[in-house]
C-alpha cells in the first residue's frame, strides 16, 4: 500500500522580495482575520506593505530568508526513512510550496492513503485548522480521491516530549555555577478572543508544559507567550515580561520553544537576538535557549508512530473547547 504523508507548516519567505507577499498571505487567511473577503484581502495587502520594512530588517539578521522550508524538508526525509512504502510531502500555508502544488504532486503519485500531519504539536484554528481546510479545497481541485486521515494534534506525544527534554538537558548542562535559573516555556501567542471562541491551543500548550516539566523534574518554571502583534489583548504572560522579571530578581533564564519544532524567525531572531539583547539590558544573569526538536530521532519516531496509528486517534480536549481539532474533523 502506497501512503503519502503531508507535513504542514506556516512557511516563510525565501527571499527579501517574498517578505511582503508572505505577510499578505498570512493576514489574508480568514482564520487570522475573520472579515469577509472583500474587506479582508485589501486589509491584508495594506498590513503586508506596512509591516514589510520591519520584517525585512528581521529577516536580514538571518540572511534575508527563512530556513523553515529546508528544515521541514529534512523532517520529511527523516520520516520517510522511518516508514515503509511512504512518501512525505510538504505543504506550507503562507508561502511556497502551497497546498495546490503539493496536492497536485500527491495526486500524480497516486497513493492508496493520505495522512495529514501538521507540524504544530498543539492545535489551533489559526494554524492546523486553517491548513487542513485549505488542503481539503486543494485536494478536491486536484482530484485526489485517496482515503485521507488527519492528525489534529499531539501535545503530549512521548517522542516530542523526549526530544524536547533531551535538548533541554543538553542546554541546561551549559548553566553557570552559582546562578539560579527560571525556565521560560515559550509558545507563540494568540489573541484572547480566539481562545474565548473555544480554541484549545492554550490548554494544549499547558499539557505540553506539564509533560515536559514532569520529565525534567524542574520546579522554577512558567508558561509564557511570544510574538504578539497588533492592538488586541493576547494571552499571557508575555515572554519578554518574564525575562524582565527574571532580570529584576537577578536570575538566569532557560528559554524552551514549546510549540515550534523547527528553527525560523521566531526562534533565530526573536529568541536568539531580540530577547537575548533584552536579557542583557535587564540584568539577566545568564540567557540560554533550547533548540527546537528538528530531526531528533525521538521526535521523528514519535511522528512515525502517529502516522501508523492515525486510524485510532481520539479526542483529548475537554468539551468546553468547542473548536477542538478532532471535533472539527468529524
State whether 164 and 208 are in the same domain.
yes
Number of domains in the chain: 2
State whether 18 and 93 are in the same domain.
yes
**31 is a domain residue:** yes
**32 is a domain residue:** yes
**294 is a domain residue:** no
State whether 219 and 262 are in the same domain.
yes
**15 is a domain residue:** yes
Angstrom distance (rounded) from CA 330 to CA 328: 6
State whether 142 and 169 are in the same domain.
no
State whether 127 and 189 are in the same domain.
no
State whether 126 and 229 are in the same domain.
no
State whether 303 and 268 are in the same domain.
no
CATH code of the domain containing 89 = 3.40.50.1400
Task: Write out the residue range of the structural domain in which residue 238 sits.
Answer: 158-289
State whether 91 and 139 are in the same domain.
yes
What cell was used for 70?
529546508
State whether 147 and 164 are in the same domain.
no
**30 is a domain residue:** yes
State whether 241 and 147 are in the same domain.
no
State whether 87 and 166 are in the same domain.
no
Kindly report the CA angle at 168 between 165 and 171, in degrees rounded to 5? 155
> Within a 13 Å sphere around the CA of 101, how many CA atoms are in the beta-carbon half?
10
State whether 148 and 172 are in the same domain.
no
What cell was used for 176?
553557570
**60 is a domain residue:** yes
**72 is a domain residue:** yes
Give the pLDDT of the chain (330 residues) as one tens digit per residue: 899 999 999 999 999 999 999 999 999 999 888 888 889 999 999 999 999 999 999 999 999 999 999 999 999 999 999 999 999 999 999 999 999 999 999 999 999 999 999 999 999 999 999 999 999 999 999 999 999 999 999 999 999 999 999 999 999 999 999 999 999 999 999 999 999 999 999 999 999 999 999 999 999 999 999 999 878 899 999 999 999 999 999 999 999 999 999 999 999 999 999 999 999 999 999 999 999 999 999 999 999 999 999 877 889 999 999 999 987 664
**277 is a domain residue:** yes
What cell was used for 171?
542546554
Peptide bond into 97 cis (omega under 30): yes
Amino acid at each position: 500500500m502506497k501512503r503519502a504523508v503531508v507535513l504542514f507548516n506556516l512557511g516563510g519567505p525565501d527571499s527579501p522580495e517574498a517578505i511582503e507577499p508572505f505577510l499578505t498571505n498570512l493576514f489574508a487567511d480568514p482564520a487570522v482575520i475573520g472579515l469577509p473577503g472583500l474587506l479582508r484581502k485589501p486589509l491584508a495587502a495594506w498590513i503586508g506593505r506596512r509591516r514589510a520594512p520591519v520584517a525585512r530588517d528581521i529577516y536580514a539578521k538571518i540572511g534575508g530568508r527563512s530556513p523553515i522550508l529546508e528544515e521541514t524538508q529534512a523532517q520529511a526525509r527523516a520520516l520517510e526513512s522511518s516508514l515503509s512504502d511512504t512518501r512525505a510531502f510538504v505543504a506550507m500555508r503562507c508561502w511556497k510550496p502551497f497546498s495546490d502544488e503539493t496536492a497536485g504532486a500527491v495526486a500524480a503519485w497516486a497513493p492508496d492513503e493520505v495522512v495529514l500531519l501538521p507540524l504544530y504539536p498543539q492545535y489551533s484554528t489559526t494554524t492546523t485548522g486553517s491548513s487542513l481546510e485549505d488542503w481539503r479545497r486543494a485536494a478536491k481541485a486536484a482530484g485526489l480521491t485517496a482515503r485521507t486521515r488527519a492528525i489534529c494534534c499531539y501535545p503530549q506525544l512521548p517522542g516530542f516530549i523526549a526530544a524536547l527534554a533531551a535538548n533541554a538537558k543538553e542546554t541546561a548542562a551549559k548553566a553557570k555555577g552559582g546562578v539560579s535559573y527560571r525556565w521560560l516555556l515559550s509558545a507563540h501567542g494568540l489573541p484572547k478572543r480566539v481562545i474565548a471562541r473555544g480554541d484549545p491551543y492554550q490548554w494544549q500548550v499547558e499539557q505540553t508544559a506539564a509533560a515536559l516539566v514532569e520529565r525534567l523534574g524542574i520546579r522554577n518554571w512558567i508558561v509564557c507567550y511570544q510574538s504578539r502583534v497588533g492592538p488586541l489583548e493576547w494571552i499571557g504572560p508575555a515572554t519578554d515580561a518574564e525575562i524582565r522579571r527574571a532580570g529584576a530578581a537577578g536570575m538566569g533564564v532557560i528559554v524552551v520553544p514549546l510549540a515550534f519544532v523547527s528553527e525560523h524567525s521566531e526562534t533565530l531572531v526573536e529568541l536568539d537576538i531580540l530577547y537575548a539583547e533584552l536579557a542583557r539590558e535587564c540584568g539577566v544573569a545568564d540567557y540560554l535557549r533550547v533548540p527546537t526538536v528538528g530531526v531528533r530521532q525521538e521526535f521523528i519516531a514519535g511522528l512515525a508512530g502517529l502516522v501508523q496509528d492515525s486510524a485510532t486517534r481520539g479526542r483529548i480536549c475537554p468539551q468546553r473547547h468547542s473548536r477542538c481539532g478532532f471535533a472539527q474533523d468529524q
